[in-house]
Structure 1
Amino acid sequence: MHIAGARIKLSPLDESDLDLFIETSMSSAMMEHVYDPCTFEQANDAFIAKSRPWTMDSDGWLSLGITEVTTGEKLGNIGLKITSHEARIAEVGFMIKPSAQGRGFASEALNLIKHFALLELGLNKLVATCSVGNSNSYKLLEKNGFIREGCLKQNVIIKGEYVDDYIYGLCKSDL
């Protein structure tokens, strides 16, 4: 499976995505609003889990590497995880390396995966969670049609501190 846009393509994670995945998972700066940075072993285990084959019945993530078409450069990853098979709801998440941020790649990737999930997979709703301090992520979600549905107080612990998260949603009927 490959999902292609004007400047990027999304493909299931493979060995060519491993180095960037581990680098971002272990980076304090990249994980600042997500969770505590992983150890190498934790990052490697997460990569193995997210690289497993995926079907609509899977409980794990459909994780896709983001690659720039013209250069072949690995930019990050994006994925979705069905959280309710009955209601056809999936969570979406993304990570873009710092040198690729602010150049529209994340927006293109999010647009591609939302259309794939809602139109091709037939899901009804996508949700996303991001730290209230992560303005880049929530601005990206809003730019791509996601609506802030609430604030989850003290939803996660990062670096030993409770952090509030915004929850966003996008329904198929909103497209």
Structure 2
Amino acid sequence: MHLSDERIKLLPFDKSDLELFLEISTCSEIMKHVSKPFTYDEAKAAFEVRSQPWDIKSDGWFSLSITELECGEKVGSIALKILNHEAKIAEVGFLIKSGTQGRGIASSALRILEAYAFNELELNKLVAFCSVDNTGSYKLLEKQGFIREGCFLQNTVINNRYVDDYAYGLCKSAYNKS
């Protein structure tokens, strides 16, 4: 499995990604549109689950670290989870460290993961969900060809507050046309 471009590489989580995962998932600024930041212990437990071996029949997340090739720094993560094995639908999600946001890293990572999902895993559709307040994420999804399919009112609780989420989808047939 070769998941890279000229700027970044994606690798399945291993023990060396624990520090990255802890930094991202415990940061209130990064997590403000996702969930309440994890405690150290919650993050460590979640990492143990996220770093388990994965295959197409798995029900858990296939989590990958994002490494910038030029400096060798791990700058974020991207993940895929099969929601419906029969219909070949998977959810995608991504988190980028604060200091490296806005540089096209998430866009590159999503483009690489899309190609892998459609061409290697032979999935039919990718979906993504993000807070209506998460402008950066929904603009990125739209730039990558995802279509806003709806808005789920009061869909998530973040810091004891109900949050509306946009739902996005990208079908393989639309991806192949781009």
SS at match of 2:117: helix
**Match for residue 64 of structure 2?**
64
Task: State whether residues 89 and 124 of structure 1, in contact with CA within 8 Å, keep that contact through their aligned partners in structure 2.
Answer: yes
Percent identity reads 59
SS at match of 1:108: helix
Matches within 5 A, 1:43-58: 43-58=43-58
Task: State whether residues 89 and 123 of structure 1, in contact with CA within 8 Å, keep that contact through their aligned partners in structure 2.
Answer: yes
Q: Distance between the aligned counterparts of 1:38 and 1:92, measured in 2?
A: 20
Kindly tell me: are residues 42 and 2 of structure 1, through their superposed partners in 2, closer, same or farther at Cα, counting changes over 3 Å? farther
Task: State whether residues 125 and 169 of structure 1, in contact with CA within 8 Å, keep that contact through their aligned partners in structure 2.
Answer: yes
Q: Distance between the aligned counterparts of 1:110 and 1:155, measured in 2?
A: 24
Q: Which runs of 5+ in 1 are unaligned?
A: none
Q: Which AA in structure 1 matches 2:30? A: M
Q: Distance between the aligned counterparts of 2:66 and 2:105, measured in 1?
A: 8
**Match for residue 94 of structure 1?**
94
Q: Distance between the aligned counterparts of 1:159 and 1:100, measured in 2?
A: 25
Q: Distance between the aligned counterparts of 1:122 and 1:27, measured in 2?
A: 34
Q: Distance between the aligned counterparts of 2:117 and 2:4, measured in 1?
A: 14
Q: Quick check: 1:151 aligned with 2:154? A: no
Q: Distance between the aligned counterparts of 1:5 and 1:131, measured in 2?
A: 29
Quote the offset at 1:40 in angstroms: 0.5
**Match for residue 25 of structure 2?**
25
Q: Distance between the aligned counterparts of 2:159 and 2:53, measured in 1?
A: 32
**Match for residue 119 of structure 1?**
119
SS at match of 1:4: coil
SS at match of 1:128: strand
Q: Which AA in structure 1 matches 2:34? A: V
TM-score (norm 1): 0.98
Q: Which runs of 5+ in 2 are unaligned?
A: none
Task: State whether residues 2 and 12 of structure 1, in contact with CA within 8 Å, keep that contact through their aligned partners in structure 2.
Answer: no
TM-score (norm 2): 0.96
SS at match of 2:52: coil
Quote the offset at 1:71 in angstroms: 1.4
